[in-house]
Amino acid sequence: MRSLARILLPIFLFLTGMGDVCCAPLQLCFEDVAQKPWTMPDGSGLNIVLLKRVEKLLGESFVFTAKPWKRCIEETRIGVMDGYFAATNTDERHQFSAFPTLPNGMPDKSAMLNETTAIVYLKKDGKGVWDGKKLESPALPILVQRGYYVGTMLRRQGLQVEESIKSSEDGLRALLQNRADVAVLQGEEARYLVGHDPKFKVAVIASSIPYTTTSQYLAISRKVYDDNPKRIEAIWNAIRTVRESAEYRALLDAKVMH
């Protein structure tokens, strides 16, 4: 079935007028901090591989630019960029961004790029507590990476949050510097460092219970989507096709942190 989908999708696009050169290249933004194995500041990573395969499948053209995450989102909001990835689907972002959506209005997880997990990191001699249900940091704010949706989630829990760090390694260093007792960090890098770097291994605990796991999408400017919804829907459909292909799944299974 997957092979048949890869054959039929380009034919469908041709018949519906989505030819090879219908449109200007899409300007797509991603975070300029390493999120192994999904994106790297140099333009490598599995999400980039996936989207380049979408380009080839559809005869599309994407321009990838690495920027600070909050700037990616803001520049999409004001029309400088056409879209950003890998993004969590949130109500706030829906005001100016389009995400793949099912007919019932729910997020279409089959068109996601990847899933990512936010892990709770506790300073060993600190006052932070996480039991898998309730997170507490009575003495100091909880650190999160700038612009990440997990910060909104924590604030909705009534917790004090500080978004002063850019990377997950910055968050771990802040714990060592006694700037916080708790950091909720996204991606694989922090977990690797706590498991392998002696200075973090002796001072920081990585919780075995994630704080949250979220689906990550290619989000498109609402205006860009409204101007050509068939084009964007075709891209999301192609993301699904590529992500489910045997070739891409082999890459996914072989991913290596370091």
pLDDT-derived band at 257 (thresholds 50, 70, 90) equals very low
* Predicted local confidence at residue 93, as pLDDT: 96
The domains found in the chain, sorted by start residue, are 2-113+215-253 (3.40.190.10), 116-213 (3.40.190.10)
Mean pLDDT of 121-128: 96
pLDDT tens-digit map of 27-84: 999 999 989 899 999 999 999 999 999 999 999 999 999 999 999 999 999 999 999 9
Phi, psi of 153 (to 5 degrees): -60, -45
> Does residue 1 register a pLDDT over 60?
no
Nearest to 243 by CA among 86, 114, 89, 99: 114
What CA–CA distances, in Å, run from 205 to 40, 63, 165, 174, 219? 26, 39, 19, 14, 33
Candidate from 11-15, 95-99, 253-257 with smallest mean pLDDT: 11-15
Residue 187: its pLDDT value, please? 83
Name the one residue in this structure whose structure tokens are 């994106």.
39
Task: Check: CB of residue 82 under 8 Å from CB of residue 23.
Answer: no
- Mean pLDDT value of segment 235-246: 97
30's enclosing H/E stretch is strand 26-31
